């Protein structure tokens, strides 16, 4: 019998095209997702060298980062540079014959929401995209990670990547989550514990009862932020929840082929006795609704806590915290629930799926946002938006005073017109609280959709458990 | 790609930990469809005020560091986004080498693709180089990739590890795609086997 393997080992082994003596491998890529920001130089590279896209049928493109989320964007994009990038993707998709969802297509949305929704992402696959949040697709038990533009060009030309294998890391969340605690709180709590470099050089497998109990949407939220913990990718072994989600999707296999796929997918789990290089275990019951207070995703605390002081830290982090608190305009000892918020953003590849919108809508139903609050819901795809409208969720948000937008990355990274002004403070369901991320001098607090909704109502960071 | 050759250059200290890709190149500059010209925007929000004036305190604006070729940085340099605009901006500025205790994976890989060498060293050695870099333009370090050595301004030699394949590519200025296409037949046979084993892909 062969040595016990981790889930990562199994997917890796199934995709090695060749291996050099020093362990450098050529890894086959099953799905290549493409968006407008990190691809133009790659297509330009192909043109300059006269190369083609090797597997256009495995390459899927959608504009998401730059697109406005307001009506009329299908006619005209005001910002010239954004328009040029979107037009470049239109042209590249056409010229190279790859799958494409333009803004006029209801299936358009954030690339990491569109891929799973359309059944492009399947268990056991290798999935890459010129975007660090490609880790999202790991929720299906797919090995999925972000790549740079040179690698985008490499995958376009060869359908492979030059890779060395990462180490195995296990993150186990045992037991059950308490009410008001979500997948977002899990993933932030893990980063709070391990730090933004805690996963560097590793592929994380998330496991344990609390992970198993999550829906596919929740699992995608967890894996999405694996990169924020420094990991190359995050993975969750596929199970009935996964298979039920995949079954019937437009590009998922059908009939006998689905059954054949299913029998392989069912072998995709970590064998008993397989060895992990690093193990982190958290009790699900110990996780509280959390919020970030600083400018790194590792700056996480339970909502019941107070703003820390630089002296609470050691090494280079002391100066970083001093800088963060100054940037964020916070004082050590201040209660997190006393922090006033003027903007709420619900959306992104982390929390822009239907379940996220349902959860937030449940909090705001029948209520009004705080007067003067700018609150925005940006569905992750045109189909999520449509479904939310069908379910009456859109109306709940609109009645509460939220703006109901078209699909895109929006204020998660503020490349389109959805940005924070200087010193504006946002409760955001996105994934990064870096300086300037949501707008120059803008201040970001990362939270779950429920916590964002609660903050929109009260005007300050709020413990959602008081509302449920 | 240009070959990576032994050089002696100015090193700048950037001790801040977790310098992320949004700091290295803010998203406003990701709208380009070119690879070049981003150097003037490297570290934009740390380097310029809103009117576009240089912030004199920022290290790369100081007279002695304007021609920096080596960055000595705090832990976890390049964390965040996959944007290759980050290494493009640094390379365009003139940076050839970045030294830290750790780098984010994607940034690390992206650097090599652009002829830049990220070097991981233990904290004590990064500290030693940081001190040396603080001495300004008179403190020139020498980086020899062939020998895997950094020589400080006062002649101390620090050795470093580097992946053999990546070293080979940097030293010879090799294009990854060209190398991989030499293995086209292996890719072909993988694809035909895979079409049998996993026809749904």
Task: Tell me the chain A residues in contact with residue B106 when contact means C-beta distances shorter than 8 Å.
Answer: 132, 145-148, 227
Q: Is residue A435 one of the residues assigned to a domain?
A: yes
- Residues annotated within the binding site of A are 349, 409, 412
- B17/A315 Cβ within 8 A: yes
Domain span at residue A317 reads 294-466
- B110/A148 Cβ within 8 A: yes
Q: Is residue A200 one of the residues assigned to a domain?
A: no
Q: What mean pLDDT is predicted for residues A15-20?
A: 97
pLDDT for position A136: 98
pLDDT tens-place string over residues B137-166 = 878 999 999 999 999 999 999 999 999 999
pLDDT tens-place string over residues A393-425 = 999 999 999 999 999 999 999 999 999 999 999
Task: Tell me the chain B residues in contact with residue A414 when contact means C-beta distances shorter than 8 Å.
Answer: 27
Q: Is residue A273 one of the residues assigned to a domain?
A: no
Nearest-neighbour CA in chain B from A309: distance (Å): 17
Q: Is residue A22 one of the residues assigned to a domain?
A: yes
| CATH superfamily name and code, B7-173 | Aconitase, domain 4 (3.20.19.10)
Q: What mean pLDDT is predicted for residues B25-32?
A: 94
DSSP conformation class of A407: S
- A151/B186 Cβ within 8 A: no
State the pairing for strand pair A143-146/A126-129: parallel
- B187/A17 Cβ within 8 A: yes
Task: Tell me the chain A residues in contact with residue B176 when contact means C-beta distances shorter than 8 Å.
Answer: 150, 154, 162
pLDDT tens-place string over residues A181-218 = 999 999 999 999 999 999 999 999 999 999 999 999 99
A160/A11 same-domain check: yes
pLDDT band at A284 (very low <50, low <70, confident <90, very high): very high
Task: Tell me the chain B residues in contact with residue A49 when contact means C-beta distances shorter than 8 Å.
Answer: 177
Domain boundary among A164, A189, A212: A164
Domain boundary among A164, A189, A222: A164
Nearest-neighbour CA in chain A from B200: distance (Å): 6
**Dihedral of CA A366/A380/A86/B105: which sign?**
positive
pLDDT band at A458 (very low <50, low <70, confident <90, very high): very high
Of the candidates A49, A84, A317, the beta carbon closest to that of B33 is on A84
Q: Is residue A14 one of the residues assigned to a domain?
A: yes
B127 burial via Cβ count (<10 Å: 0-12, 13-18, 19+): middle
pLDDT for position A439: 96
pLDDT for position B137: 81
pLDDT band at A162 (very low <50, low <70, confident <90, very high): very high
Chain position carrying tokens 């391990």:
A194
Of the candidates B22, B74, B199, the beta carbon closest to that of A435 is on B22
Q: Is the pLDDT of residue A320 over 90?
A: yes
Rounded to whole angstroms, the Cα distance separating A460 from A466 reads: 13
Token representation of residue A330: 């916070």
Residues 6+ apart with CB under 8 A from A231: A135, A169, A199, A200, A202, A203, A204
Average pLDDT in chain A: 97
Do residues A224 and A187 make contact, with C-beta atoms less than 8 angstroms apart? Answer: yes
pLDDT tens-place string over residues A98-148 = 999 999 999 999 999 999 999 999 999 999 999 999 999 999 999 999 999
Task: Identify the H or E element spanning B70.
Answer: strand B68-73
Q: Is residue A19 one of the residues assigned to a domain?
A: yes
Chain position carrying tokens 């629930």:
A337
Give the strand order in the sheet containing A99-100: A99-100, A59-61, A31-34, A126-129, A143-146
Rounded to whole angstroms, the Cα distance separating A451 from A170 reads: 28
Of the candidates A58, A160, A434, the beta carbon closest to that of B80 is on A434
Task: Tell me the chain A residues in contact with residue B187 when contact means C-beta distances shorter than 8 Å.
Answer: 17, 26, 28, 54, 158-160
Cα A13 to its chain centre, rounded Å, is 26
- A131/B198 Cβ within 8 A: no
- Residues annotated within the binding site of A for [4Fe-4S] cluster are 349, 409, 412
> Domains of chain B: which residue ranges?
7-173
Q: Is residue A20 one of the residues assigned to a domain?
A: yes
Task: Identify the H or E element spanning B112.
Answer: helix B105-113
Q: Is the pLDDT of residue A280 over 80?
A: yes
Share of chain B above pLDDT 70, in %: 100
Helical H segments across A14-127, by residue range: 40-49, 80-96, 111-117
pLDDT for position A1: 61
Do residues B65 and B59 make contact, with C-beta atoms less than 8 angstroms apart? Answer: yes
- A124/B181 Cβ within 8 A: no
Nearest-neighbour CA in chain B from A175: distance (Å): 30
* For testing contact with chain B, the best of A48, A120, A150, A296 (most B CBs within 10 A): A150
Size of interface A-B (CB pairs under 8 A): 189
pLDDT for position A183: 98
A166 → chain B, closest CA residue? B105
pLDDT for position B156: 96
B1 → chain A, closest CA residue? A150
Q: Is residue A127 one of the residues assigned to a domain?
A: yes
Nearest-neighbour CA in chain A from B70: distance (Å): 20
- B180/A160 Cβ within 8 A: yes
Please tell me the number of Cα atoms within 13 Å of B192 on its side-chain side: 5
B109 → chain A, closest CA residue? A148
A300/A156 same-domain check: no
* For testing contact with chain B, the best of A197, A260, A262, A317 (most B CBs within 10 A): A197
Domain boundary among A102, A135, A164: A164
Do residues A204 and A170 make contact, with C-beta atoms less than 8 angstroms apart? Answer: yes
B50 → chain A, closest CA residue? A440
Token representation of residue A463: 């413990």
pLDDT band at A2 (very low <50, low <70, confident <90, very high): confident
pLDDT for position B157: 98
- A146/B16 Cβ within 8 A: no
Of the candidates B17, B33, B113, the beta carbon closest to that of A148 is on B113
Q: What mean pLDDT is predicted for residues A253-271?
A: 98
Residue A346 three-state SS: strand
Total tally of structural domains belonging to chain A: 2
Of the candidates A28, A132, A134, the beta carbon closest to that of B80 is on A132
Average pLDDT in chain B: 96
pLDDT band at A227 (very low <50, low <70, confident <90, very high): very high
Of the candidates B33, B45, B181, the beta carbon closest to that of A85 is on B33
A154/A298 same-domain check: no
Assessment of whether the complete model's pTM goes beyond 0.90: yes
Q: What mean pLDDT is predicted for residues B12-28?
A: 96
A102-106 CB contacts, 8 Å cutoff, 24+ apart:
A102/A63, A103/A63, A103/A67, A103/A73, A103/A74, A104/A74, A105/A382, A106/A382, A106/A383, A106/A386
Share of chain A above pLDDT 70, in %: 100
- B163/A22 Cβ within 8 A: yes
pLDDT tens-place string over residues A33-51 = 999 999 999 999 999 999 9
Identify the CATH number of the domain in which residue A48 sits.
3.30.499.10
Nearest-neighbour CA in chain A from B96: distance (Å): 18
- B109/A37 Cβ within 8 A: no
- A37/B23 Cβ within 8 A: no
């Amino acid at each position: 019998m062969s040595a016990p393997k981790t889930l990562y080992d199994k997917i890796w082994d199934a995709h090695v095209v060749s291996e050099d003596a020093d362990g450098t491998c050529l890894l086959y890529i099953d799905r290549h997702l493409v968006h407008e920001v990190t691809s133009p130089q790659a297509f330009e590279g192909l043109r300059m060298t006269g190369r083609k896209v090797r597997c256009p049928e495995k390459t899927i493109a959608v504009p998401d980062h730059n697109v406005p989320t307001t009506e009329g964007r299908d006619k005209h994009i005001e910002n010239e540079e954004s328009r040029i990038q979107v037009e470049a993707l239109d042209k590249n998709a056409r010229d190279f014959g790859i799958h494409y969802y333009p803004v006029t297509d209801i299936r358009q949305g954030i690339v990491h929401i569109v891929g799973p929704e359309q059944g492009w992402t399947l268990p056991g696959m290798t999935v890459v995209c010129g975007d660090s949040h490609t880790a999202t697709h790991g929720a299906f038990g797919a090995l999925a990670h972000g790549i740079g533009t040179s690698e985008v060009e490499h995958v376009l030309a060869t359908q492979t990547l030059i890779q060395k294998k990462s180490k195995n890391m296990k993150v186990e969340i045992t037991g059950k989550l308490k009410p008001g605690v979500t997948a977002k709180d899990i993933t932030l709590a893990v980063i709070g514990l391990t730090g933004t470099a805690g996963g560097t050089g590793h592929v994380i497998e998330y496991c344990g009862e609390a992970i198993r109990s999550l829906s596919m949407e929740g699992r995608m939220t967890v894996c999405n932020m694996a990169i924020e913990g420094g990991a190359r990718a995050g993975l969750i072994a596929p199970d009935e929840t996964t298979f039920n989600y995949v079954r019937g999707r437009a590009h998922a296999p059908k009939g006998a082929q689905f059954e054949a796929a299913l029998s392989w997918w069912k072998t995709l789990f970590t064998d008993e006795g397989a060895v992990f290089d690093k193990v982190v275990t958290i009790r699900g019951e110990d996780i509280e609704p959390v919020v970030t207070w600083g400018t790194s995703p590792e700056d996480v605390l339970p909502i019941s806590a107070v703003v820390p002081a630089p002296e609470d830290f050691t090494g280079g982090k002391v100066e970083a915290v001093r800088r963060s608190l100054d940037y964020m305009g916070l004082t050590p000892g201040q209660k997190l629930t006393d922090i006033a918020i003027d903007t709420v953003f619900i959306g992104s590849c982390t929390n822009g799926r239907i379940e996220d919108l349902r959860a937030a809508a449940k909090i705001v139903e029948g209520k009004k946002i705080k007067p003067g609050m700018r609150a925005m819901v940006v569905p992750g795809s045109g189909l999520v938006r449509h479904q939310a409208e069908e379910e009456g969720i859109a109306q709940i948000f609109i009645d509460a005073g939220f703006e109901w937008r078209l699909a895109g990355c929006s204020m998660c990274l503020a490349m389109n017109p959805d940005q924070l002004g200087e010193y504006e403070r946002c409760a955001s369901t996105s994934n990064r609280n870096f300086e300037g991320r949501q707008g120059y001098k803008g201040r970001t607090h990362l939270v779950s959709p429920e916590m964002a909704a609660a903050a929109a109502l009260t005007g300050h960071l709020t413990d959602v458990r008081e509302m449920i | 790609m240009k070959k990576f050759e032994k050089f002696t250059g100015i090193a700048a200290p950037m001790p801040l930990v977790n310098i992320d890709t949004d700091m290295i190149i803010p998203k406003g500059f990701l709208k380009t469809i070119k690879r070049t010209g981003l150097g003037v925007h490297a570290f934009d929000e740390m380097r310029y005020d809103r009117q576009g004036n240089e912030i004199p305190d920022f290290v790369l604006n100081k007279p002695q560091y304007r021609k920096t070729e080596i960055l000595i940085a705090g832990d976890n340099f390049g964390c965040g986004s996959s944007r290759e605009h980050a290494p493009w901006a640094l390379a365009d500025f003139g940076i050839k080498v970045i030294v830290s205790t750790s780098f984010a994976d994607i940034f690390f890989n992206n650097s090599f693709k652009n002829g830049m060498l990220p070097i991981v060293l233990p904290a004590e050695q990064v500290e030693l180089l940081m001190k040396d870099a603080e001495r300004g333009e008179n403190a020139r370090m020498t980086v020899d990739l062939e020998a895997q050595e950094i020589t400080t301004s006062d002649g101390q030699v620090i050795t470093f590890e580097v992946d053999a394949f990546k070293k080979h590519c940097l030293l010879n200025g090799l294009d990854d795609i060209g190398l991989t296409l030499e293995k086209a037949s292996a890719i072909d046979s993988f694809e035909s086997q895979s079409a049998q084993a996993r026809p749904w892909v």
